[in-house]
Chains A and B, each alone.
Chain A
Amino acid sequence: MSAIFTVDPHSGVPIYLQLIAVVKRSVALGVLAPGEQLPTVKQLATTLTVNPNTVARSYRELERDGVIETSPGRGSFVRANGSGSTANKAVSDVAAAAIDGAVREAKSIGLARADVAQLIDQVLDRWYPASDGREAS
């Protein structure tokens, strides 16, 4: 279970934000099912060799975001009720962050807005061909 979580402690991205992202992504992809139990803070901290307070902070924020729920004494679980919306929210969070990163990168190398829009159109055409309205994954 803990094996699906990975973080890079030496990245400039705070570890708790990395953990939040990986849990949201796992929920979005269905790797973590609604109602499924997450490792305890201690288990996850020990498995990843990261600070327990850092793991606890991720769990608190995930709970606040409605992705997981924690009941004292029982542990933390992926939220079962409204799981569809939880997963969808998680999916869109992950997708939004990825798109934001890509556009930021394009801007940082000096591409004009129109050029970026054209690139995005090309990507959209590739993944959302006109004949097929369904989402590719």
Chain B
Amino acid sequence: MTDHYAIAVSGLTKRYGDTTALDDFSINVPKGSIFGVLGTNGAGKTTAFKCMLNLARADSGTTLFEGAPLTPALFDRMTYVHERPALYGEPRVIDHLEWTRRTYARYDAQRAAKLLDLFGLAPKKRVKNLSKGQQSALALTLAFVTRPDLLILDEPASGLDPVNQRNVLDLLIGEAAGGATIVFSSHQIGQVERAADRVAILHRGKKMLDGEVDLLKADEKVVEATFENDAPSANGLATDPSVRRIVRAGRLLRAFVRGNSDDVTRHIAALEPKSLRVLDQNLEDIFLNAVAASDGDVAAAAANLEG
């Protein structure tokens, strides 16, 4: 029963020699959602997209679009923008639009004019004379003028100035409000936090976490206590399945909790702390926690960051 998902990715794995670039990657993207794939550089975001679209052959795993494998019939309704778009240098902006018009039945000329204006792209300028940011904007323009139902965008806002980054987010939001499904990658947490209703966090080829952004925020808490003297070891907490990580630093104790934090709060309160509070976690905190839970060195770095 996967047809209500626009995209259902199951167990995608891709190895390059000894390196596993993508390890058992699975996500479900409901129709009409904006799905953010978040990860540091080299986390496997581009590999994931290429494998989903058969642009790279996965060693194992499947990707279903609206319940079926990818077929050319879908190409007219979907678009993929690579993080380094392949555009021709000599031709002009308007030439690229003309080729797109001839290729796509759903080409929208009014929209093309609006987007050129929005991004400040001069129609008669040769592409080689555009800045890197303007080239990215042109690639996005070419994607959006075809009025796709399904957009897969690899780092769509990279290289753009802050105004145009916001313009891109607004475009994504407008498309999703109109019923389109969008999957986009970013290493900028703020963009994902704003525009995406769902997120997957990739780290070193593995999915650390995925879910609805708002529910993750509602779910992830930090119980923070300070003590008169050094924080007690709180060994009992380590066995609590909702506790993902415990950080002790001098008189401070932090327990990173997923799910109901009441038990953990009671447990820590019984240790008679001087102060005790439950802190919300934004997506950046959740990202760092997910990464920290996976490898110790980053855990230390994240603990320092938080301290």
A pairs with B: yes
Bound together, the chains give a CA A75 to CA B213 distance in angstroms of 26
Task: Find residues 231-280 in chain B having any chain A CB closer than 8 Å to their own CB.
Answer: 273-280
B215 touches A46 (CB 8 A): no
B161 within 8 A of A: no
Contact of B173 among A45, A105, A107 (CB under 8 A): A45
A46 and B174 contacting across the interface, CB-CB below 8 Å: yes
- The number of A-B residue pairs with CB atoms under 8 Å apart is 81
Given contacts A12-B282, A109-B275, contact A53 B33 (CB under 8 A): yes
Roughly how many angstroms separate A49 CA and B174 CA in the complex, as a whole number?
Answer: 9
B61 at the interface (CB under 8 A from A): no
A21–chain B nearest beta-carbon distance, Å: 13
Main secondary structure of the interface of A (DSSP, over half): helix
A51 interface neighbour in B195, B276, B281, Cβ under 8 Å: B195
Q: How far is the CB of A51 from chain B (nearest CB, A)?
A: 4
A97 within 8 A of B: no
Contacts A14-B218, A49-B194 given; does A42 touch B274 at CB 8 Å: no
| B277 cross-chain contacts in A, Cβ below 8 A | 104-105, 108
Q: Which of A6-21 contact B (CB under 8 A)?
A: 9-17
Which residues of chain B are within 8 angstroms of A110 by Cβ–Cβ distance? Answer: 273-275
Contact string against B for A residues 71-86, beta-carbon threshold 8 Å, 1 for contact and 0 otherwise: 0000000000000000
Contacts A9-B190, A10-B190, A11-B282; A52 near B173 (Cβ below 8 A) = yes
The reply to whether B279 and A46 form a contact with Cβ atoms under 8 Å apart is: no
- Quick one: given A9-B190, A10-B190, A41-B177, are A16 and B214 in contact (CB under 8 Å)? yes
Interface mask (B170-201 → A, CB under 8 Å = 1, otherwise 0): 10011011100000000000100111110000
Contacting residues, chain B, for A109 (C-beta < 8 A): 275
Question: Once the chains bind, are B282 and A14 in contact (CB under 8 Å)?
Answer: no
23 contacts between A and B (CB under 8 A): A10-B190, A12-B280, A13-B217, A14-B213, A14-B215, A15-B213, A17-B214, A42-B177, A45-B173, A45-B177, A49-B169, A49-B194, A51-B173, A51-B194, A51-B213, A52-B173, A52-B176, A53-B32, A53-B176, A54-B197, A104-B277, A109-B275, A110-B274
Give the A-binding residues of B (Cβ under 8 A): 32-34, 166, 169-170, 173-174, 176-178, 190, 193-197, 213-215, 217-218, 273-285
